[in-house]
Chains A and B, each alone.
Chain A
Amino acid sequence: MRASNAVKALTLAVSVAWIAGCSSPSTLSEDDSSMGGSATGSSSNTYGTGDASGVSGMGTDGNLDVANLKTVFYFDFDDSTVRADSVADLEAHAQYLASHPSASIRLEGHADERGTREYNMALGERRAKAIERFLAVNGVSGAQVETISYGEEKPVVLGSGDGSWSQNRRVELKYVSR
């Protein structure tokens, strides 16, 4: 049950990344290696060589194309721990940001509808900050990251039940400048 939710979440995340302004005409495919908690230590190799992990479409300058990375990261209920299935893409974003000091991002934290609104504002912030800390540990300067929480106020999916809730418990990573 959990795995199929992760598949749905991953598919959604990839679609959201695609719709959210990906300008590159490259094809997207699901990065299977990041599911089921098997975080590869050498994710930089994945993007540099265009290998079987399936992420293709490098930018013309030869650097990794952040437009192909996940930009939505999901969380477990009442939790703000960065999940294993977020690690690979976050490390890639971190690598990009660390090597492009003028690039900056906004992390938007969200919670599902259950519980009270202002507490959920705080939960959304906790999640955004957890991602921010992860990026900082991976070399990103605080000056490049802005965090904001929307609590339960901006769901991507209306409706109740685990299917909707799991898609709303998220942090969205948005590039303000590349």
Chain B
Amino acid sequence: MKKWFISAFLMMMAVTARADLVVEVTQGVDAPTPIAVVPFQATGLALNEDIAQIVSDDLGRSGFFKPMNRSNMLGTPSTEEQVFFRDWRVSGNDYMVIGRVAPAANGQVQASVELYDVLKERKVWSETVTGNSNNLRDVAHYISDQVFEKLTGLKGAFSTRIVYVTAKMNTPGNFTYKLQMADSDGARPRTILQSKEPILSPAWSQDGSKLAYVSFESSRPAIYVQELATGQRQKVQTFRGLNGSPAWSPDGSRLALVLSKDGNPEVYILTLATGQLDRVTHHYGIDTEPTWAPDGQSILFTSDRAGLPQIYSLNLPTRELKRLTYEGKYNSRGRLTQDGRFLTMVHQDGSGFHIAVQDLKTNRLDILTSSSLDESPTIAPNGSIIMYATKKGGKGVLAGVSLDGRVRFTMPNGDGDVREPAWSPYLQ
């Protein structure tokens, strides 16, 4: 289904590329699937989260679904016997989700969920999910993942996390920077690091256990590796000049990074266990923003060796260099989907800096945003959504766009400017 979906989006790009609304689902050749997530019934419980609403919002934000507005629902069935499929069919739904939450042993709660094919009047999936009353959001995201997977064939990415940096100017020249982590929908933010000096370039290890990031807390830029479970962290080998852009190899054993110790910014690979440093680029231009291909055999990076930044790929065993971007005068900060097929980047044209995606098989480039100060694209592990940083009303905010450009949303605003999102891999 995925290949069909992707070729469908290529057909739709010309029509939808310039739309710029907050949450917008446009009709097209491949219309999003209408689904109704009915409010769950809670017996003997006062819940602090609306599970059905979280599921509904997750599915809508993915771009694959068009959730029914709760105010349009004529009833709220919570068992199969209470469902009159004809009513839900007539109101335009292909699928529906119902559920019941009840207390479980050890002070936990149990959510019994059912997914129905409205047209065939048949149950597609059901499960009883147990969770704590204070992590109902995790229960909801789990349900979203299951519904998403059953209906699209793709793995859901709703139980993932994002990290990002916030910056607040207290007085001119005096800032507070924070590295924060939140759920993929922006809920439950918590601070991982707070500093008076800049923090940037957070990067998740592929197993989701560690973050690498750049911090100026020692008054010079340095790369740190932090273990999320324990909070323990280590500063990696630091050199004179720039230390930046850490990127984890897929097996987690190495970091690609940028150092300018040899005269100008170059890409190096640091083997974490041994401290061995391999230099990967040798050019007097700026070489920066490395990212690994999923097979670990090549590194993509930004270089202005041709004048202005473009994205190149270096095959590590052969050291063969290939330029990837030819459209437009400025292309930088490339990130690949997990299958290595699509490259998202920051692309400059006459109207500013946009998020674009290039199909590396056909080299077709599609510009996904019309805002002009976009940066830091990061892709959900299932390739469905690109989250990025942009400016809205003069303030730095995070936004998301589906890879086909149909669905867009803005993340809830925090205090100060938000930037540098990094989407986690699938987490256990």
- Whether the pair A118, B172 counts as a contact (CB closer than 8 A) is no
Compute how far the CA of A154 lies from the CA of B2 in the bound complex, rounded to whole angstroms.
43
The answer to the question of A125 belonging to the interface, with a C-beta cut-off of 8 Å to chain B, is yes
A125-B260, A153-B200 known; A115+B348 contact, CB < 8 A: yes
The answer to the question of B353 belonging to the interface, with a C-beta cut-off of 8 Å to chain A, is yes
> A residues within 8 A CB of B373?
113-114, 160
- Whether the pair A148, B289 counts as a contact (CB closer than 8 A) is no
The answer to the question of B159 belonging to the interface, with a C-beta cut-off of 8 Å to chain A, is no
By beta carbon, the residue of chain B nearest A126 is B286
The answer to the question of B425 belonging to the interface, with a C-beta cut-off of 8 Å to chain A, is no
> B residues within 8 A CB of A21?
none
By beta carbon, the residue of chain A nearest B308 is A78
A85, chain B: closest CB distance, angstroms: 23
The answer to the question of B198 belonging to the interface, with a C-beta cut-off of 8 Å to chain A, is yes
B7, chain A: closest CB distance, angstroms: 30
The answer to the question of B258 belonging to the interface, with a C-beta cut-off of 8 Å to chain A, is yes
Interface residues on B, range: 35 or more
- Whether the pair B332, A116 counts as a contact (CB closer than 8 A) is yes
Interface code B189-213, partner A: CB below 8 Å = 1, 0 otherwise? 0000000001011000000000000
By beta carbon, the residue of chain B nearest A78 is B308
Compute how far the CA of A153 lies from the CA of B220 in the bound complex, rounded to whole angstroms.
13
A122, chain B: closest CB distance, angstroms: 4
A116 is contacted by which of B173, B376, B391, B394 (Cβ under 8 Å)?
A: B376
Within 8 A of A (CB), among B155-174: 167, 169, 172-173
B226, chain A: closest CB distance, angstroms: 19
The answer to the question of B77 belonging to the interface, with a C-beta cut-off of 8 Å to chain A, is no
- Whether the pair B242, A117 counts as a contact (CB closer than 8 A) is no
Compute how far the CA of A113 lies from the CA of B353 in the bound complex, rounded to whole angstroms.
11
- Whether the pair B173, A118 counts as a contact (CB closer than 8 A) is no
A113, chain B: closest CB distance, angstroms: 7
The answer to the question of A144 belonging to the interface, with a C-beta cut-off of 8 Å to chain B, is no
> B residues within 8 A CB of A118?
200-201, 244-245, 258, 288-289, 302, 333
A115-B332, A116-B333, A117-B200 known; A154+B348 contact, CB < 8 A: no
The answer to the question of A22 belonging to the interface, with a C-beta cut-off of 8 Å to chain B, is no
B332 is contacted by which of A119, A150, A154, A159 (Cβ under 8 Å)?
A: A119
A114-B353, A158-B169 known; A119+B289 contact, CB < 8 A: yes
The answer to the question of A6 belonging to the interface, with a C-beta cut-off of 8 Å to chain B, is no
The answer to the question of B265 belonging to the interface, with a C-beta cut-off of 8 Å to chain A, is yes
The answer to the question of A123 belonging to the interface, with a C-beta cut-off of 8 Å to chain B, is yes
A122 is contacted by which of B200, B288, B394 (Cβ under 8 Å)?
A: B288
> B residues within 8 A CB of A148?
220-221
A38, chain B: closest CB distance, angstroms: 31
Compute how far the CA of A125 lies from the CA of B203 in the bound complex, rounded to whole angstroms.
22
Compute how far the CA of A52 lies from the CA of B152 in the bound complex, rounded to whole angstroms.
77
The answer to the question of B346 belonging to the interface, with a C-beta cut-off of 8 Å to chain A, is yes
By beta carbon, the residue of chain B nearest A20 is B173
Which residues from chain B sit less than 8 Å from chain A, CB to CB?
A: 167, 169, 172-173, 175, 198, 200-201, 216, 220-221, 241-242, 244-245, 258, 260, 264-265, 286, 288-289, 302, 304, 308-309, 330, 332-333, 346, 348, 352-353, 373, 375-376, 391, 394, 419-420
Q: Which 7 A-B pairs have the closest CB atoms?
A: A153-B198, A116-B333, A122-B286, A122-B265, A118-B245, A116-B332, A118-B288
Can you give 12 A-B contacts (C-beta < 8 A)? A115-B330, A116-B302, A116-B309, A117-B419, A118-B333, A121-B242, A121-B244, A122-B242, A125-B265, A150-B198, A151-B198, A153-B167
